[in-house]
Amino acid sequence: MKQKLLLLVALMFGLSIYAENLVIQTMNQQEKRQALESFGRLEFDHNQQEVRLVLKDGSVAEIYSLDAVHKIFFSNETQDLDAIHGGLTIDVRDNELIVKDLEEPIMLRVIDASGKVLLTQKGVSIGVSSLPTGVYLLQCNKGIVKFIKK
């Protein structure tokens, strides 16, 4: 009961701050990150002593033994930039960034050098004509890429 109460408080606190990922860290320090835009819910099965990470579409992304879970928290940090840069490529056409090789629309974010999210839009492209000249990042669940607005 104490574990459930602590988890509930942590989840409520985590939702009250800006976060992009739910992170489940296991006892061996491995982390599973799930983008909040696709996260549905956590299910606790007390008979099986499991926690399930369920996506919005109802599919189960991961199942963990409760004994194996070290902590569950929210994060606005992505993975290391070098590790994820290769998964995202864009075309730039007339102040519009178009993400290549997308099968369906996803949440796109334009971030300035200080880390502030300036634009957010679901789709395969995002217009940047309203931005002043500068260096920005385009971030989505496929990765992050730097671009320069001239």
Same structural domain, 14 and 55 = yes
Could you say which DSSP state residue 88 is in?
-
Residue with tokens 């994820």: 84
Same structural domain, 25 and 86 = no
Query: Which residue has better confidence, 25 or 65?
Result: 65
The CATH number of residue 60's host domain is 2.30.30.100
Kindly report, residue by residue over 51-103, the tens digit of the pLDDT: 888 888 888 888 888 888 888 877 765 443 333 344 677 888 888 888 888 78
Q: pTM for this structure?
A: 0.45
Predicted confidence at residue 120, as pLDDT, reads: 92
Same structural domain, 63 and 104 = no
Can you tell me the distance from the alpha carbon of 54 to that of 42, in angstroms, rounded to the nearest whole number? 6
What range defines the domain where residue 103 resides? 81-149
User: What does pLDDT average to over the chain?
Assistant: 76
Q: 32: Cβ–Cβ under 8 A, 6 or more apart, which residues?
A: 23, 24, 26, 53, 61, 62
Mean pLDDT of 19-40: 76
Same structural domain, 70 and 7 = yes
